[in-house]
């Protein structure tokens, strides 16, 4: 088992249950010194894709999962890591019980572009399903987005 931090649509416990059925949720927490952003608009079928970038004054809500090797391989496929779309990086997550070293996906593309309204809605719903604080979910829902797909 290895620890994985979900920050995008994988925050949704139901989605992770389907994608990684052998990998339980361990806890939630914050990636401090990182911010949620979007990029790789040319790679998304419906606008820019979520990613994180280092930022000393920001933080990103995450759900931490104990991932089995089998589920990690499956998740790599879902996230396009096996195609080079996302790469894995180690980060520190602050939880109520202390700090954890985990891995997460970072988009291997330039920052910029807008996500579609539907993608941003799924991301916001996922954060809400993961019990992210209401102000965090509200800020996600207020982010600029494309009003229609490509």
Contacts of 114 (CB under 8 A, 6+ apart): 38, 41, 47, 48, 144, 145, 146
At 34 the pLDDT is 97
Mean pLDDT value of segment 125-136 = 98
Catalytic residues: 79
pTM: 0.92
- Give the pLDDT confidence of 8-59 residue by residue, as tens digits: 999 999 999 999 999 999 999 999 999 999 998 777 667 899 999 999 999 9
Q: How is the chain split into domains, by residue range?
A: 2-142
Mean pLDDT value of segment 52-77 = 96
Residue 110 annotated as binding? no
Of the listed ranges 23-27, 43-47, 75-79, 109-113, the least confidently predicted one is 43-47
At 149 the pLDDT is 45
Please spell the DSSP secondary structure of 57-71, one letter per residue. EEEEEEEEEEE-HHH
Which DSSP category does 126 fall into? Answer: H
Q: Is 84 exposed, middle or buried (0-12, 13-18, 19+ CB in 10 A)?
A: exposed
At 115 the pLDDT is 93
Structure tokens at 89: 């990086």
Class of domain 2-142: alpha beta
How far apart, in Å, are the Cα atoms of 48 and each of 16, 80, 118, 148? 21, 14, 12, 12
Mean pLDDT value of segment 127-137 = 98
At 3 the pLDDT is 97
């Amino acid at each position: 088992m290895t620890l994985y931090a979900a920050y995008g649509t994988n925050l949704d416990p139901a989605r992770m249950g389907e994608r990684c059925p052998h990998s339980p949720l361990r806890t939630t927490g914050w990636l401090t010194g990182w911010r949620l952003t979007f990029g790789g608009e040319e790679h998304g079928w419906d606008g820019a894709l979520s990613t994180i970038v280092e930022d000393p004054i920001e933080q990103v809500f995450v759900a931490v999962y104990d991932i089995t090797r089998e589920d990690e391989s499956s998740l790599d496929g879902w996230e396009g890591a096996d195609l080079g779309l996302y790469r894995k990086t180690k980060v520190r997550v602050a939880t109520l019980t202390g700090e954890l070293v985990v891995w997460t996906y970072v988009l291997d593309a330039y920052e910029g572009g807008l996500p579609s309204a539907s993608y941003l809605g799924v991301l916001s719903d996922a954060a809400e399903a993961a019990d992210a604080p209401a102000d965090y979910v509200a800020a996600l829902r207020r982010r600029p987005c494309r009003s229609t797909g490509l």
